[in-house]
Amino acid sequence: MRITCPLCGDRDRREFYYYGSDDYLTQPEVGDFDAIDVHLHLRDNPAGETRDLWYHEAGCGSWLAVTRNTVSHAILGVALVAEAGVDRDLWYHEAGCGSWLAVTRNTVSHAILGVALVAEAGVDISTKMKPKGAAK
């Protein structure tokens, strides 16, 4: 199976980490334990068209929403999750290791979808300034 990353082009599926249904982009209300249980443990397993989250682990580090057919294995569409209400921020771990982190989060539910060291995520921070008091 080949997935066409919007940033890197056509790639083998082994470069990607399969995360699951794009239902993970939303979260139930805090304290609604029945809804949380259903969200975490009860998943559809459709034969046919699905929309899933894939992480381009061996490439650009982007989260992708991949529409595919589970019967034919055909990829019907690929989009950056960032274009669907998800953002990627740079955070500085001031009280800890002093590293820059690339944090992918859903801007609607505020769920953290992934964290990577900037050096490993391929993000250029040469134009970013370190926070006041950070090691030089």
pLDDT above 90 (res 32): no
**What pLDDT sits at residue 67?**
92
Q: What are phi and psi of 14, to 5 degrees?
A: -70, -10
pLDDT in tens, 64-118: 989 999 999 899 999 888 765 556 666 777 777 777 777 777 665 567 777 777 6
Give the pLDDT mean for 3-28. Answer: 86
Query: Long-range contacts of range 85-92, CB-CB < 8 Å, 24 or more positions apart?
Result: 85/25, 86/25, 86/113, 90/118, 90/123, 90/125, 90/128, 92/130, 92/131, 92/134
What are the structural domains of the chain? Answer: 2-121 (3.30.2270.10)
User: Are 75 and 66 within 8 A, CB to CB?
Assistant: yes
